[in-house]
Amino acid sequence: MKVLSLNFLSCAVKGCKSSSDSYPLHPKDAELVQDDIEVNAQLLINLLPRIDWTALTTTATELGFPALPPQAPTPEELEADEAKLKDLHHLLMETQIMEGKLVCASCGHEYAVREGIANFLLPSHLV
């Protein structure tokens, strides 16, 4: 799964809906692969307002990436700065979690990631 997808996922456990700790999920024992995908500047610029930047900075640090700036770049900044654009593209689009777990900080549930797919099916007592 792409790092981008992780930015749109929170814990599915019923009791976690109201907890701010249930987002973002925290990667654990993550095995990363890097895909080589052509940069689509317009796509990234359009996505930017929908990205939760605070969550992304947490995820990037947890995955061992260099720290992101505390504030998200504006679309204009991103458009004008090719290095920044490429870094963001690399993190969001090219980096995939292939194996590992995604852990909820609220309830501790661990979602397994296998072959790049996160399993969000919950045991019945948690639904």
Quote the DSSP letter at residue 71: S
C-alpha distances in Å from residue 76, one per residue of 79, 85, 87, 103? 5, 11, 16, 35
State which of positions 81-110 bind Zn ion (CB under 5 A). 104, 106-107, 109
- Binding-site member from 4, 16, 68, 85 for Zn ion (CB under 5 A): 16
68 HSE (CA, 13 A, CB side): 24
Q: 17-56 mask for Zn ion (x: CB under 5 A)?
A: -----x----------------------------------
Instruction: Rank residues 13 and 88 by Cβ distance to Zn ion and give the closer one.
Output: 13
- Is residue 3 part of the contact set for Zn ion (CB under 5 A)? no
